[in-house]
Amino acid sequence: MVKMEKKNYSVIIGTGCCIPEKRIGNDHFLNETFFSADGEKLKKSNQETIEKLSEITGIRERRHAAEDQQASDIAYLAALEALESAKIDKESLDYIIVGHNFGDVRLGNVRSDFVPSLASRVKHKLRIVNPRTVAYDLAFGCPGWLQGVIQADYYLRSGDCKRVMVIGADTLSRISDPFDRDSMIYADGAGATIFEAVASDRPIGILAHAARTDALDHAYMLWMGKSFDPQHQGNELYLKMDGHKLYEYALKTVPLVARESVEKSGLRIQDIKKVLIHQANEKMDEAILKRLFKICGGEYKPEVMPMTISWLGNSSVATVPTLLDLILKGKVENHALAPGDNIVLTSVGAGMNINAVVYHMP
């Protein structure tokens, strides 16, 4: 019997997340004034607007960071939890990669602060002495954490490093226009995952991944723009999106990237135990999953898709690592993972960027 040569695989050894304590229910928006993109006050009542958005997105509650917290603060808290989960020396990390969109944004000051990088801020807060723990940020829209995971996989497979921490953190509540109904979608949060290079004679951990950027015709479906309030005097820029076009794009394209990753792994869709999709829109995620099963030739199984958007909202790069952490720690009802299970993680966001990773639980 021929013994197979061992190869390096990227395996999760620790996870953590920071879910802010401040709960913002849908009733919070009943007294807001919403305008359309052309500055006209919405004709529907706030109650109708809230109910419609909740019906489409599934959001009933979201979390906002505390007044004295910024993205780097909640990233640090998620990192602490991941280190505790992994039970490793923080000085043994070779890389700290932080995916985010807006840097640190102070409450009441809609300005992005990127210097120093959030990754350096997290390393500083962790009091890591080792200068070989390289810390850098990654801006890739909502798929930023997952793209960091893909980069980590290349590092770990190369044999040049042993451990990489990848964090996704954002405070979307700080850059959302209170006069835009889409502000009800956005939330704050952070998730962290530590990967380790493990030599194995069989495939484990990250099996395959795929990514794409459609910037020619789709770059500006998410952009920064002025407040919808026609009386607003400031020059601040807020997060804006073309929700309808984004929905159509995601439904058409995300399943293709997810299928590509599954095919690269050598698995079939029937072999996948869970599909973790960026928590942006409940209806959209359901449609993406149905299309994925259809184009892969498998029977649709809604039970493979866990969701947290109903109570956490859309925290951008934090949604997938937070969801993963909660499942691994038994905190998502009716969803669990065991050794031998295969999962797909996939995300879509500004750019427009899409990526997917197939992971085998060792």
In tens, the pLDDT along 174-226 reads 999 999 999 999 999 999 999 999 999 999 999 999 999 999 999 999 999 99
Give 2-19 pLDDT, tens digit per residue. 456 889 999 999 999 999
Cβ within 8 Å of residue 309, ≥6 positions away: 57, 58, 59, 279, 280, 281, 282, 285, 319
Within 10 angstroms of residue 240's Cβ, the number of other Cβ atoms is: 20
Say whether both 278 and 328 belong to one domain. yes
- The amino acid at residue 25 is G
Question: Last residue of some domain: 168, 200, 232?
Answer: 200
Last residue of a domain, one of 200, 231, 247: 200
Helix axes 282-296, 46-57, angle to 10 degrees: 30
Determine the pLDDT at residue 108. 84
Interval 71-100 mean pLDDT? 98
- Pick left, alpha or beta for residue 108 (phi over 0 → left; psi -120 to 50 → alpha; otherwise beta): left
CB 169 within 8 A of CB 145: no
Query: Looking at the structure, do residues 172 and 277 belong to the same domain, yes or no?
Result: no
Q: Is residue 1 part of a domain?
A: no
- The pLDDT, as a whole number, for residue 215 is 96
Whole-structure pTM value: 0.94
Q: Which residues does residue 356 pair with via DSSP β-bridges, in sequence order?
A: 210, 346
- Is 13 a member of any domain? yes
Residues 195, 220 within the same domain = no
Reply yes or no on whether the pLDDT at 234 is more than 90: no
| Amino acid in position 94 | D
Reported as a pLDDT band with limits 50, 70 and 90, residue 298 is confident
Give residue 161's pLDDT.
95
Location of structure tokens 């940020």 = 137
pLDDT category at 1 given cuts 50, 70, 90 is: very low
Distance CA(251)–CA(116), nearest Å, equals 37
pLDDT band with cut points at 50, 70 and 90 for residue 235:
confident
